[in-house]
Amino acid sequence: MAKFFLRKKIGDRILGGHPWVFANELGDSEGDCAPGDIVELYSYNGSFIGKGYVNPASQIRIRLLTRHKNETIDENFFYNKIKKAWDYRKSIGYTENCRLIFAEADGLPALIIDKFNDYFVIQTLALGIERWKEDVADALKRLFNPKGIYERNDVPVRELEGMEQIKGFLSDPFDTNIILNENGLKFHVDIENGQKTGYFLDQQDNRRAIQHISKGADVLEAFCYTGTFSLHAAHYGAKSTLGLDISENAVATARRNATLNGYDDVCKFEAVNAFDALKKWGTEGKKFDVVMLDPPAFTKSRENIDKAVTGYKEINLRGMKLTKPGGFLVTASCTNLVPPDLFLKTIAMAAKDAHRTLRQVCWQTQSSDHPIMWNIPTTQYLKFLIVQVI
């Protein structure tokens, strides 16, 4: 097994538990290896640190899997990791739908597995874990006897690892249009063509947080995707909801979800550019009791953080102007590149420019099946805020 050594004065972050080793943190190496192979990592003075997969084509050169020198990386290793992750989810109440594997947070870097009842969606986002994809699928079959397993590897980040974008079945073919249950509601999920893995499980706890502010309210949901927050608002007693999304397909699914749950009379959806609609209605003086904003990430790189902050400020300012005095703003950010303190600061700046005062009601992150590891800051990415707009 090839050995890699950290440069001198490099390693505090890695020794503290972070699994990523960047190319510029490495010095000498011994032995030959192929991209995707398991290699050993040592400190500059020869102390063993861990084992992980290597990829010379990636900026993240090594992703560590274990800190135990005698632990063998084989199919049983992945089975045991997945079983341990499943036991954890069950212990905190996630049994039907959950993120079963949240990559680094579950000790399996670059692996995502979402569980939609008896169906599983896998993403292998680094060359090293791609090599073990069939073993991961076999572990799921042993643990769950699932109705289907599908890979959603149609993501550009794979190209940074020298891999192609692909998607397809890792089990016998099945109907990829399924229905899942969440908080007493049902939702259509398009595993094959929906965003990410087909459904945003990371907001499932946050959707319950709108329960009390929705009763009797006229609700606006911008960037609604398939209408999950709107449907929850209706379920919790909203008088009316209006969901906006630029995607015709997403809006069509949102309408199907309204029909599925019997809320056609409450929930309406429009396929429009939400930015334009919010700006226009703000000028017209339109008002809602509750305004909900869950936009896509405004940046995927650190170079564009300033632009992202400008975008979040603008969209929240518009949302506040559409909120009745005493009404509520529900707002979220899904990128780890905008840390919580910066997000809150941005909301405060928007309130100042909108000449509105805010009262915090709820401040949360992603649902607990997406664990946050304090020694891996990127595992905390979602910010979810409810404020009263006075």
**Residues marked as catalytic:** 334
* Closest-CA residue to 244 (of 283, 292, 208): 292
- Give DSSP secondary structure letters for 206-270: HHHTTHHHHTT-EEEEES-TTTHHHHHHHHTT-SEEEEEES-HHHHHHHHHHHHHHT-TTTEEEE
Under DSSP, is residue 82 helix (H, G, I), strand (E, B) or coil? helix
Q: What are phi and psi of 6, to 5 degrees?
A: -70, 150
Q: Contact, 350 vs 313, CB < 8 A?
A: yes
Which tokens sit at 115? 């569980």
End-to-end CA distance of the chain: 63
Amino acid at 373: M
Angle (nearest 5°) at CA 266 between 265 and 270: 95
| Cα gap 120→145, rounded to integer Å | 11
Radius of gyration of the chain (CA): 23
Under DSSP, is residue 87 helix (H, G, I), strand (E, B) or coil? helix
